[in-house]
């Protein structure tokens, strides 16, 4: 630990001497962007983050660029309550746990479109396929919120907005392991319309995903996206989003005769596309938003000879309406309804589908520094029938920049198509359910002036779906057998200690327990934190350091295999060289620490990267 503190101290002592005068503001931070304080995860349409009692973190494009690189983990680890486990390097499977909930219990949206894979056994989203080149904003809610979002919102909700900036910007970056990353975005904006395109390309030779191996496992991905907004009248707006990606990942397997993780020449090809089209109405008292959306994920696993060994295709479509009526005296009525139909097919399973319909209503009241919300929802699934969810939150500004907030929410997750219809399926499954509560005290806003927040939380989950071993069928079948509880504390702080110098950090204590066995939930560290320091000189030079600290955990449900704790230290810098042109670079894992977030799978060692960013 002393070596990390030495480097942080050296950074803090050295930065003040760099101050000089400059007028270059081509890459000024975006912290004052009003959109950076608007959350959609709290109520589905958009509200100021200070008017919700729920725990929400927003990370904008300015912070994404300051972190640098393509790896989404470098951004997510700045959020309290969020931990990640990965099967190798960039592009490999990455599961995100929010407050100890499994990665399959996290609702993930991109531009408001659900992007989970209906063909995956747990129906979750693989964050390994989400890179930062086209991401403009992360809106992360922690806690159950199925009242607004329906199925999957047990651990929380992550909404990723793609870049939608006017003008043209882009970057090119090269570094260790022959890694090349480039991205670009461009948009035309005028009175009454916006049209934007964005794209990225990433490739790397990588390293062996198997910690015991030596053959490098590379990854390559291409992403293209677009968005459009057109005003038909001053109150009516047409909108559309579209996104397509294709990636090739080298993976290690479990070859005979030992059937343990080792070098293989297997690959996985992933093709994804999603999008939506709709219309919005913005009136004096009413806001309405109607949309049709779709999402599709195809995967092909190829063996050492290049033959397809497994293939899957998960597809979902949804129609929805969301609205808000602003009555007198600060009273609002939010409401919505949707119908979703999903289907999947795999090499071993014939095509199967399921429909679910839901609707909700939420009352809100904002008066001065007080904001209160309460609502309910009913979903009807074609197999398990109806399910009701309820939730509420309150926020009260005590005075100045201090406020207290609290929320209670119920979550549920419908059984996946694989759990229902595969060879191991069970058509009698019930939905997983949860109840979460939290209470927090907060001062200021994240990323601005002096900010401090501490939140205590607890979530109880029942009817969790797990695999039940049985002789009734070969190996067994899925059943509602498990219970879990996660409770803990989240803390975050940030403050300016000198001209241009800011220190920030997040810490989480998460006690996640399987209440059936009494064991810790797998791959859920109890303690984890990220500390980061940023300095900006008047002449434009920016220096930064990030320290990730993660405590020990267990890799398996039986708590037989322990994962040791670890520390990772990164350095980064950037400098404008002319109007609209910036060079940047970073060193990841400076001290080349060896660690694993999933047993047997390696993590990246020291890496050095440099790039150039252009904005016109």
Contact (Cβ atoms closer than 8 angstroms) between residue 379 and residue 336: no
Q: Which residue has the higher pLDDT, 474 or 496?
A: 496
Neighbours of 551 (CB within 10 A): 17
pLDDT at 29 over 80: no
User: Dihedral sign, CA of 140, 145, 150, 154?
Assistant: positive
Q: Which residue has the higher pLDDT, 23 or 11?
A: 11
The rounded mean pLDDT for the chain is: 92
Q: What is the pLDDT, as a whole number, of residue 1?
A: 57
Q: What is the pLDDT, as a whole number, of residue 22?
A: 35
pLDDT at 4 over 80: no
CA distances from 543 to 152, 446, 532, 576 (A): 39, 19, 11, 12
Compute the distance between CA of residue 381 and CA of residue 428 in angstroms, rounded to an integer.
Answer: 12
Only one residue has tokens 């590379």, namely 218
Confidence of residue 21 (pLDDT cuts 50, 70, 90): very low
Residue 195: HSE in the Cβ half-sphere, 13 Å Cα cutoff: 1
- Span 136-164, average pLDDT: 95
CA distances from 612 to 71, 581, 590 (A): 17, 7, 21
Q: What are the pLDDT digits (tens) for 213-223?
A: 999 999 999 99
Q: Which residue has the higher pLDDT, 145 or 25?
A: 145
Compute the distance between CA of residue 144 and CA of residue 54 in angstroms, rounded to an integer.
Answer: 10
Q: What is the pLDDT, as a whole number, of residue 469?
A: 82
- Span 222-227, average pLDDT: 98
Q: What are the pLDDT digits (tens) for 39-68?
A: 888 888 888 998 999 999 999 999 999 999
Go through the domains of the chain in sequence order and give each one's CATH number.
2-538 (2.40.170.20)
Q: What is the pLDDT, as a whole number, of residue 23?
A: 33
Q: Which residue has the higher pLDDT, 38 or 356?
A: 356
- Span 202-212, average pLDDT: 97
Confidence of residue 31 (pLDDT cuts 50, 70, 90): very low
**Strand duo 167-175 + 607-615: pairing:** antiparallel
* Percent share of the chain, pLDDT over 70: 94
At 473, is the secondary structure helix, strand, or coil?
Answer: coil
**Which residues contact residue 603 at a Cβ distance below 8 angstroms, ignoring those fewer than 6 apart?**
86, 88, 89, 594, 595, 596, 597
User: Dihedral sign, CA of 145, 150, 154, 157?
Assistant: negative
Q: What are the pLDDT digits (tens) for 354-384?
A: 999 999 999 999 998 999 999 999 999 999 9
Contact (Cβ atoms closer than 8 angstroms) between residue 87 and residue 598: yes
Strand partners, 283: none
- Span 327-337, average pLDDT: 93
Helix (H) or strand (E) run with residue 67 in it: helix 61-67
């Amino acid at each position: 630990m002393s070596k990390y503190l030495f480097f942080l101290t050296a950074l803090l002592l050295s930065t003040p001497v760099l101050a000089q005068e400059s007028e270059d503001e081509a890459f000024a931070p975006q912290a004052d962007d009003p959109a950076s304080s608007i959350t959609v995860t709290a109520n589905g349409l958009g509200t100021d983050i200070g008017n919700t009692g729920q725990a929400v973190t927003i990370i904008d494009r300015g912070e994404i660029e300051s972190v640098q690189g393509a790896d989404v983990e470098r951004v997510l680890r700045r959020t309290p309550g969020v931990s990640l486990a990965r099967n190798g390097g960039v592009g490999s499977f990455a599961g995100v746990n929010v407050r100890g909930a499994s990665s399959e219990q996290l609702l993930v949206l991109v531009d408001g479109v659900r992007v989970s894979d209906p063909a995956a056994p747990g129906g979750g989203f693989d964050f390994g396929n989400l890179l930062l080149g086209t991401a403009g904003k992360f809106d992360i809610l922690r806690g159950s919120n199925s009242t607004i979002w329906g199925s999957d919102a047990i651990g929380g909700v992550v909404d990723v907005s793609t870049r939608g900036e006017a003008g043209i910007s882009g970057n090119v970056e090269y570094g260790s392991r022959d890694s090349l990353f480039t991205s670009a975005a461009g948009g035309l904006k005028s009175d009454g319309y916006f049209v934007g395109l964005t794209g990225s390309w990433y490739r790397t030779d990588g390293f062996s995903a198997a910690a015991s191996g030596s053959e490098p496992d590379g990854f390559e991905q291409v992403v293209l996206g677009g968005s459009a907004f057109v005003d038909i009248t001053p109150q009516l707006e047409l909108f559309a989003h579209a996104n397509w990606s294709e990636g090739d990942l080298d993976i290690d397997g479990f070859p005979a005769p030992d059937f343990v993780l080792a070098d293989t020449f297997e690959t996985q090809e992933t093709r994804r596309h999603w999008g939506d089209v709709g219309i919005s109405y913005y009136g004096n008292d009413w806001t309405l938003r109607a949309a049709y959306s779709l999402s599709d994920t195809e995967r092909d696993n190829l063996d050492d000879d290049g033959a397809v060994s497994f293939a899957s295709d998960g597809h979902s479509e949804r129609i929805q309406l969301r609205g808000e009526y602003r009555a007198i005296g600060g009273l609002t009525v939010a409401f919505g309804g949707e119908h979703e139909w999903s289907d999947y097919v795999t090499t071993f399973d014939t095509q199967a589908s399921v429909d679910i319909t839901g609707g909700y209503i939420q009352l809100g009241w904002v008066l001065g520094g007080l904001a209160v919300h309460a609502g309910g929802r009913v979903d009807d699934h074609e197999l398990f029938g109806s399910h009701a969810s309820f939730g509420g939150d309150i926020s009260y500004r005590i005075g100045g920049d201090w406020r207290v907030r609290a929320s209670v929410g119920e979550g549920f997750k419908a059984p996946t198509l694989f759990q229902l219809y595969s060879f191991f399926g069970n058509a009698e499954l019930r939905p997983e359910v949860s109840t979460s509560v939290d209470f927090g005290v907060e001062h200021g806003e994240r990323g601005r002036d002096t900010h401090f927040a501490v939140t205590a939380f607890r979530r109880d989950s029942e009817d969790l779906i797990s695999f039940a071993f049985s002789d009734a069928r070969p190996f067994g079948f899925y059943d509602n057998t498990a219970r879990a509880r996660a409770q803990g504390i989240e803390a975050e702080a940030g403050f300016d200690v000198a001209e241009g110098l800011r220190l920030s950090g997040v810490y989480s204590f998460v006690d996640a327990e399987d209440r059936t066995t009494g064991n810790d939930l797998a791959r859920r560290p109890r303690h984890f934190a990220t500390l980061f320091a940023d300095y900006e000189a008047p002449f434009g030079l920016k220096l930064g350091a990030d320290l990730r600290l993660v405590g020990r955990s267990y890799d398996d449900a039986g708590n037989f295999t322990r994962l040791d704790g670890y520390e990772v230290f990164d350095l980064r810098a950037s400098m404008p060289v002319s109007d609209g042109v910036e060079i940047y670079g970073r060193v990841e894992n400076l001290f080349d620490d060896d660690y694993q977030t999933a047993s047997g799978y390696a993590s990246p060692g020291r890496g050095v990267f440099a790039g150039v960013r252009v904005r016109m």
